[in-house]
Amino acid sequence: MSSTGSFHPTGVSDVAAADSAVVGASLLPRSDPVLKVNALSVVYASSRGPIKAVADLTLSLHQGEFVSVLGPSGCGKSTLLGVLAGLQVATKGSAAVFDRPMMGRPHPNVGVVFQRPTLLPWLSVLDNILIPIEAMRRRKSDYLDRAHELLRLVALEKYASHYPAELSGGMQQRVGLARAMIHSPGLILMDEPFAALDAMTRERMSVELQEILRESGQSVLFITHSIPEAVFLSDRVLMMSASPGRIIKDVAIDLPRPRVTATMAQSEFAEICGALRKLYIQ
Amino acid sequence: MSDHVSAQSVSLRNDTVGRQLNMEKLTTVIYPCITFIALLVIWEGSVTLFRVPDYIFPHIMPVLRVLYAGYVEGEMYPHLAYTLKSTLIGYSLGCTLAIIIGASLAESRTFEKFVFPLIIALQSTPKVAVAPLIMIWCGYGISSKIVMVATMCFFPLFVNTVTGIRQTDPAMVNMMRAFSAPGWLTFYRVKIFGAAGHIFAGLQISIVFALLGAVVGEFVGAASGLGWLIQSAMVSFNTPMMFAAILSLIVLGLVGTAIVRFIHRRVVFWERSSGTTAH
Ligand SMILES: Nc1ncnc2c1ncn2[C@@H]1O[C@H](COP(=O)(O)OP(=O)(O)OP(=O)(O)O)[C@@H](O)[C@H]1O
Ligand SMILES: [Mg+2]
């Protein structure tokens, strides 16, 4: 995103109108969205009766965009990601990734980073990164160069033959990131990837992630419940209501890129965070 | 100067830590030896003190004599070999079947529906009770012992295999699904390895069950083997021989367990490094 304006809280609570009202997004060339979710509802059947996890949720994400979904715990963020990753099916409404409706089957052009690293302890870092390649039944040897390049990108080039237990939590999460990118997916879905890390590591990971994406240029849907993290990384922040989750605000973040650690100390950054926080309280 | 002093105190502390570690190691060897020697002393002492006749409870010496004749002069080897052979073949057979059937059952709901009630029924059957039947079906040769061993060691490993595979971390399975992995890849990359700790624990338990099966088979009908030795010694009140044979079985069990444990630690290396070794 190259817009130069400052913070534009759109204050749109009507989700259907959100797209046209967001200034930042409207500056983009209107290609077909990478991701399109329309009036999505997900209801879990449980012994205590149906639980509505996501209600009437609409969002879209365009080529090259970094969009964060920000919401309180239990509002249905992981459920949304589950549908987009093809791990579960919508009860109502639709979700499409690269124009293919998601019906509980993963799209091969998508990479997922999970809340926990979910590395296989019995495989080396390199073999873990190559799992998606193996899953797509492609030749692993064709991807060795790319794997090493990604390892360099996530600053783990010396750890290719290490096992996950020999790495710190932050390093493991970076391996998970490399794994999600090995097949050069057009879209990366991330479910609170840094939530389990301490505040300092977390900040560093945000900066690193931004660097990595600047080189690769992929679209990202990033789930988080940290306002500064969302503001630092995103072109747009979508705020979700408490359970059952809907998008209640669509906010463009127009801080210039590249954003660096010092950006987080800027008054502009703090202002945006403060405004978002206020939106939440309402 | 102060640097020097602190360096010295550090090395001092390391020394004490090292010494403590050594003591720790030493005591884990010495203490059980003391218990063992105490037992021998109590054994010999009370047998002598109460003048227990050898045919009821032998002195240590006659047992040693039988062991000497058995393992130095070699009288015991054919029997040891016979029991070892049926145990090893039956163990391999039973364990292979347990892993294959356990894994299929854990993976396929349909297969589970077909065979689960049968397996529950078989599991609650006291296996020793079917030993005579197995003799009728398989004859008095080694094949009946092999079947008996396989039957005995099947269930512990079967249960562990099913549990291990069922307990696969769902997050890992989801991860594989999210990357479009086919079912067989998830099974091979995630489930089998995830269950490895349980499977090895089962393999270890099954060793004792395998020996039990071999001995029972030989009790019911055989012409050699350590179990047969025990039974035929009973007829002549040859308790030293019984002791020697039982000791041999104990050693077999211990050695087998040690081997499985060694392989376990080698293969399932990731459990060791995360500090959750299964015993
Ligand atoms: N398998 C399930 N069965 C029944 N209810 C579920 C299930 N998974 C989630 N839920 C419910 O759906 C709601 C949304 O859950 P979800 O995991 O999507 O939240 P989340 O926003 O990701 O929360 P967090 O930030 O804590 O990860 C919660 O109220 C939860 O209780
Ligand atoms: Mg979640």
The 10s digit of each residue's pLDDT in A224-246 is 989 999 999 999 999 998 878 88
Query: Pocket around ligand 1: residues whose beta carbon is below 6 Å from it?
Result: A 44, 46, 51, 53, 71, 73-79, 225, 243
Q: Do A114 and B175 touch (CB under 8 A)?
A: yes
Q: Do A165 and B273 touch (CB under 8 A)?
A: yes
Q: Do A108 and B178 touch (CB under 8 A)?
A: no
Residue closest via CA to ligand 1's atom 7 equals A44
- As given in the structure block, the two tokens for residue B43 are 């054994």
B265 has a chain A CB within 8 A of its CB: no
A22 pLDDT above the threshold of 70: no
In this prediction, residue B21 carries a pLDDT of 74
- Phi and psi dihedrals of A97, rounded to 5? -115, 125
B13 band by pLDDT with thresholds 50, 70 and 90 = low
Q: Do B270 and A118 touch (CB under 8 A)?
A: no
Both ends of chain A: CA-CA distance in Å? 29
Q: Is residue B191 within 8 Å of residue B198, measured between CB atoms?
A: no
A15 pLDDT above the threshold of 80: no
Nearest C-alpha neighbor of B223 from the set B86, B66, B79: B79
- As given in the structure block, the two tokens for residue A140 are 């692993």
CA distance B197 to chain A (A): 12
A108 has a chain B CB within 8 A of its CB: yes
Report the DSSP beta bridge partners of residue A42: A54
Minimal Cα distance from B191: which residue of A?
A: A120
In this prediction, residue A282 carries a pLDDT of 66
A10 pLDDT above the threshold of 80: no
**B237 Ramachandran zone, left/alpha/beta (phi>0; psi -120 to 50):** left
Q: Is residue A87 within 8 Å of residue B174, measured between CB atoms?
A: yes
What is the domain partition of chain A in residue ranges?
1-106+185-194+217-282, 110-179
CA distance B255 to chain A (A): 27
In this prediction, residue B155 carries a pLDDT of 93
Q: Do B185 and A135 touch (CB under 8 A)?
A: yes
Residue closest via CA to ligand 1's atom 13 equals A53
Q: According to the 3-state scheme, what is the secondary structure of B83-147?
A: HHHHHHHHHHHHHHHHHHHHHHHHHCHHHHHHHHHHHHHHHCCCHHHHHHHHHHHHCCCHHHHHH
CA distance A103 to B173: 18
The 10s digit of each residue's pLDDT in A145-167 is 999 999 988 889 999 999 999 99
Task: Report pTM.
Answer: 0.81
CA distance B274 to chain A (A): 6
Ligand number nearest to the C-alpha of A74 = 1
Q: Do B273 and A163 touch (CB under 8 A)?
A: yes
Interface predicted TM-score (ipTM): 0.82
B265 band by pLDDT with thresholds 50, 70 and 90 = very high
CA distance B80 to B74: 10
Which residues are within 5 Å of ligand 2 (an ion), measured at CB?
A: A 78
Contacts of B274 in chain A (CB under 8 A): 121, 165
In this prediction, residue A198 carries a pLDDT of 84
- Superfamily of A1-106+185-194+217-282 according to CATH: P-loop containing nucleotide triphosphate hydrolases (3.40.50.300)
B272 has a chain A CB within 8 A of its CB: no
B residues 191-220 closer than 8 Å to A (CB): 193, 196
Question: Ligand 1 centroid to A52 CA: how many Å?
Answer: 9
The 10s digit of each residue's pLDDT in B176-201 is 999 999 999 999 999 999 999 999 99
Query: What radius of gyration, in Å, describes the C-alpha atoms of chain B?
Result: 25
Q: Do A116 and B178 touch (CB under 8 A)?
A: no
CA distance B100 to chain A (A): 21
Minimal Cα distance from A189: which residue of B?
A: B178
